[in-house]
Amino acid sequence: MADDGRSDAGYDADDHHDPRLTDPVHRTLAGVLDAARPNTDGAVADYIPELADVDPEPIAIALASARGSVHEAGDSRVEFTIQSASKPFVFALALDALGLETMTRHVGLEPSGEPFNAISLEASGRPDNPMINAGAIVATSLVDGETTEQKFREIRKGLSRFAGRGLELDESVYASEAATGDRNRALAYLTHAAGTLAAPVDVATDTYFRQCALVVTARDLAVMAATLATGGINPLTRERVISNDAARWTTSMMTSCGMYDASGEWLLRVGLPAKSGVGGGIVALQPEQFGVGTFSPRLDERGNSVRGVEMLTTLSERYGLHMLDPRGEPLSPIASLDPDDGTTIALLRGDIRFAGMEEVLTRLLPLVNDDGCLVLDFTGVTRVGGGASRVFRGVVDLAGTNPDGRARVEIRDPDGVLRD
């Protein structure tokens, strides 16, 4: 079903009211989509018989914010199979359950610089990374369960939690992949022989074929990406799906390896962690801000959606979304200084990370002396980064006390933003 402008942006829309008038983000996405629509380069994935017959024309983009608003343009409710866009999420589930040390005994963390289905194994037998097929099959083999049914149940449940709704299996696509998946079986046999595969070959590959055949929409991909962007919390359901560490590690792998042998150029030009799938979907994110899902079935020679790449490139370039873009001088975290009878109250504000902590202490600690007290008031602060919080908490002891026994530095933290 085509969608010309759905948005769950937190307002009550009248049935006769054009949503584009109340959702400027939709207008933004629609403009990006319209710029890519004329591009008919590429071809659908014909090496999987069921995918060879898909309609090549649908095009969609959706954005889910970290606060839970979803904005959509184009055919954002058209269903397709997730394919390799499932890889970061399955890796995240296994990583969250087993930890980084265990995962890296089985799969590497380095870009391969080779196509997604290449035989990219280290001398030890580890696949180069979990975003190529060999590494993804190993990651799937590490998911909890002894049988295909048990492992797939865990994967389906986990990816459904990422999407915020139950995901279904496309039985026809699964059967088609299983019937033509000998190269993936060969990769599995190589990793099994090397001792890195954690399940029998038939269990690992059959589970992998099933995970790739889960049905999603561009909207689903946006929500799934936003769950990674928020550190593992689904912004719609507010459920914690994975740990913050697992989300950060997974996003790192998407940044360096997610677009296969185009990952370096992608990072330079687009600058968003991303992962593509031969079903035509691309999932991308800006950490702490939003997730994006795109869909268009025609692929380039690297297996990435042609119009999906164009949409995300335009979105990043037009709106300055490259995650390494300089942001200019930030707003000072010191809102005001109020001297009062020997006590100086520093009212702090906003989101304070390491650089903000450095500014606060570098500017204000010279005010500390034996004749008064510096009060760091965090009432107006929304969040303090973990490292910054530890430094702030140590300042009271570091500053010591005045001759009269009063602390030279006091912390005022009514909302507990300095707690770990």
Q: Which of 65, 208, 306, 316 is catalytic?
A: 208
* Contact residues for 420 (Cβ-Cβ < 8 A; gap 6+): 386, 389, 390
Q: Is 260 an active-site residue? A: yes
Nearest to 277 by CA among 240, 255, 302, 252: 302
Q: Is 87 an active-site residue? A: yes
Structure-model confidence comparison of residues 120 and 230, the more confident one:
230
Residue 84 CA to its chain's centroid (Å): 15
Over residues 307-311, mean pLDDT: 98
Quote the Cα angle for 243-244-247, to 5°: 90
Residue 59 CA to its chain's centroid (Å): 22
Q: Rounded distance, CA 310 to CA 304, Å?
A: 10
Contact 281, 83 (CB under 8 A): yes
Q: Is 189 an active-site residue? A: no
pLDDT tens-digit map of 340-372: 888 999 999 999 999 999 999 999 999 888 788
* Contact residues for 131 (Cβ-Cβ < 8 A; gap 6+): 84, 87, 88, 91, 116, 253, 254, 257, 258, 260, 275
Contact 268, 256 (CB under 8 A): no
pLDDT tens-digit map of 406-419: 899 999 999 999 98
Q: Which of 54, 260, 270, 305 is catalytic?
A: 260
Is the torsion defined by CA of 16, 20, 25, 30 positive or negative? positive
Over residues 76-87, mean pLDDT: 97
Contact 70, 111 (CB under 8 A): no
| Cross-strand bridge partners of residue 377 | 347, 412
* Contact residues for 190 (Cβ-Cβ < 8 A; gap 6+): 119, 121, 125, 134
Q: Which of 65, 69, 84, 141 is catalytic?
A: 84
Mapping DSSP to helix (H, G, I), strand (E, B) and coil, where does residue 22 land? coil
Q: Which of 76, 87, 174, 263 is catalytic?
A: 87
pLDDT at 94 over 80: yes
pLDDT, mean over the chain:
91
Instruction: Work out the pLDDT band at 17, boundaries 50, 70, 90.
Output: very low
Strand locations in 102-233, DSSP E?
215-216
* Contact residues for 23 (Cβ-Cβ < 8 A; gap 6+): 5, 7, 9, 71
Q: Rounded distance, CA 25 to CA 5, Å?
A: 10
Q: Is 360 an active-site residue? A: no
Instruction: Work out the pLDDT band at 8, boundaries 50, 70, 90.
Output: low
pLDDT tens-digit map of 314-334: 999 999 999 998 877 889 999
Place of tokens 């948005």: 7
Which pTM does this prediction carry? 0.88
Predicted local distance difference test score (pLDDT) of residue 21: 53
Instruction: Work out the pLDDT band at 205, boundaries 50, 70, 90.
Output: very high
Nearest to 228 by CA among 419, 135, 92: 92
Predicted local distance difference test score (pLDDT) of residue 18: 53
Q: Is 278 an active-site residue? A: yes
Task: Report the side by side order of strands in the sheet with 290-295.
Answer: 7-8, 70-74, 60-65, 290-295, 281-286, 274-276
